[in-house]
Structure 1
Amino acid sequence: MKQAYPRFQADEDKQRIVSFLQDWFSKNGPEAQAVVGISGGKDSSVAAALCVEALGKDRVIGVLMPNGVQSDLEDALCLVRHLDIQYRIVNIETTFKEMLKALQYTEIINHHNFYFSVTDALRQNLPPRLRMATLYAIAQGIPGGGRVINTCNRSEDYVGYSTKYGDSAGDVAPLAAYTVDEVLAMGQVLGLPTHLLHKAPADGLCGKTDEDNLGFTYAVLDHYIKTGSCEDQETKARIDHLHAINQHKQELMPMVAR
């Protein structure tokens, strides 16, 4: 039997996260800034707003990291202006292109070269890893240091819809216990702009929405996570498959016991 899903009240859970962040920062960086990668979507918007409530706007830094020209950059700017937080734009396009070139370069004289190709998956997962490297670089370079905020939610984590050591990384994960519908509800309590909360979620990498990539809606996924029930057996099988093959993203790195 599926374990009962915890009761959720948007205002109470919002305050629970705020208190958690205050306690965590008091122990892990009393003077540190919260460094948040801002995409203009619901998760980074809610995570940043929670940090502002917990620490005050002067201790929250937004980092906008377009890969060339991105249509949703204006949404990210809307969020940082709404929260009135400090921010910086770091365009990763040049780094992304140079990394692809470096990966494909082969010295003809080296007879030990192995086969390598730039796949679609590589192209889609490299930018999140470059962005995470950027967030940690900024965290190290600001006065007092910074702590990187993971912005993934439980729904995405459940099916592994994140990049390992990319957006799945971070120092603290305020939204990891909450499904998409719960994140949206807290966003409303926080008074975030409606268009940021309810625009179609997309990774900004492949031109498709999250739900197009997954093959099912977040509403169906959230319901399954909470109840264990899914009317469409094909969808249930796909969710179970994604959950199983992506468990490694949720576990600590295995090590030999001594």
Structure 2
Amino acid sequence: MSYSFNAEKVTNEVVQWVRDLFERTATPTTNAVIGISGGKDSSVAAAVCAKALGKDRVIGVLMPQGEQADISYSHLLVDTLGIKSYTINIGNTVSSFMNELSKQMEPSEQARVNTPARIRMATLYAVAACNNGRVVNTCNLSEDWVGYSTKFGDAAGDFSPLSDLTVTEVLQVGEYLGLPDELVHKVPIDGLCGKTDEENLGFTYAMLDKYIRGEDDLSSVPQIKEKIDRLHRANLHKLQLMPKYELSK
């Protein structure tokens, strides 16, 4: 199956989509508030918003957890785009919360991994509330497909410019926008166990992206296909509306 991605066309369309969304649903002084990690997704999403709304309407929020070894990438993005930014360290907040939780129960690994992401999202909404802002979701289709995000953490937001684009496509948009190579191609790492995202997943984004777009059915690696399908099924709840009881009438 042939699939062709036109980075110029898609970039222009997503920029216009953000511009139209704000014109329809916001005021001329509404800002886009985005968490800046220095990775490809936050870099490209911030660049898209700056192009759509103007750099003066984009606010970056750097949220290190204590000391962050690669925070220089976040500063590079802020400087490259010329956007306003705040640095709010969540280290003490995470530690205090986990300490209180530990008094009642033994924190699970899932709680330890997901809590910082949810505290970061609470921080973004606090900054948005103080700056007439809308929070930018920075997820992409590849990570969403296999659930590589935290529900009500980085999976949350008010609008999502990249969630229909695979990692491969996000990289092409970043290149088209002229972002520094070290931001677009920064190796994604979870910051917890020292492994890259791809090492944790057990397959590459290139393989996943081709599978999503129907370019490779992964028949040559059935165990990886099975794992991707299993992760997709198990994590669909992150992409769907919360189930609710509907009153019969």
TM-score normalised by the shorter chain: which range applies? over 0.9
Taking only the aligned residue pairs, the percentage that are identical comes to 51
Distance 2:82 2:192 in 1: 27
Question: What does residue 43 of structure 1 align with?
Answer: 41
**Residues 201-232 of structure 1, C-alpha deviation per residue, up to 9 Å, x if partnerless?**
12323321100110100001001101151120
Q: 1:56 aligns with which of 54, 57, 60?
A: 54
Answer yes or no: is the 8 Å Cα contact 1:5–1:226 preserved in 2. no
Distance 1:5 1:250, change over 3 A: farther
Alignment of 1:156-171 (within 5 A): 156-171=143-158
Distance 2:66 2:4 in 1: 42
1:6, distance to aligned residue in structure 2 (A): 6.9
Answer yes or no: is the 8 Å Cα contact 1:153–1:175 preserved in 2. yes
Q: 2:122 aligns with which of 125, 133, 144?
A: 133
Question: What does residue 20 of structure 2 align with?
Answer: 23
**Residues 96-122 of structure 1, C-alpha deviation per residue, up to 9 Å, x if partnerless?**
00000111124xxxxxxxxx3212221
Size of the alignment, in residue pairs?
Answer: 244
1:26, distance to aligned residue in structure 2 (A): 1.2
**Residues 227-257 of structure 1, C-alpha deviation per residue, up to 9 Å, x if partnerless?**
1511200000100010000000000111122
Instruction: List alignment gaps of at least 5 residues for structure 2.
Output: none
Instruction: List alignment gaps of at least 5 residues for structure 1.
Output: 107-115
Distance 1:21 1:229 in 2: 33
What do you get for the CA RMSD once the two structures are aligned? 1.3
Look up the SS of the partner of 2:59 in the other structure.
strand
Q: 1:195 aligns with which of 146, 158, 182?
A: 182
Does residue 229 in structure 1 map to residue 217 in structure 2?
A: yes
Q: 1:250 aligns with which of 216, 239, 242?
A: 239
Question: What does residue 109 of structure 1 align with?
Answer: none
Q: Which amino acid aligns with 2:48?
A: L
Distance 1:222 1:12 in 2: 19
Question: What does residue 213 of structure 1 align with?
Answer: 200
Alignment of 1:99-114 (within 5 A): 99-106=97-104
Distance 1:48 1:5, change over 3 A: farther
Q: Which amino acid aligns with 1:124?
A: V
Question: What does residue 185 of structure 1 align with?
Answer: 172
Answer yes or no: is the 8 Å Cα contact 1:124–1:206 preserved in 2. no
**Residues 82-136 of structure 1, C-alpha deviation per residue, up to 9 Å, x if partnerless?**
0000001000000000000111124xxxxxxxxx321222111111000000000
Distance 1:138 1:38 in 2: 13
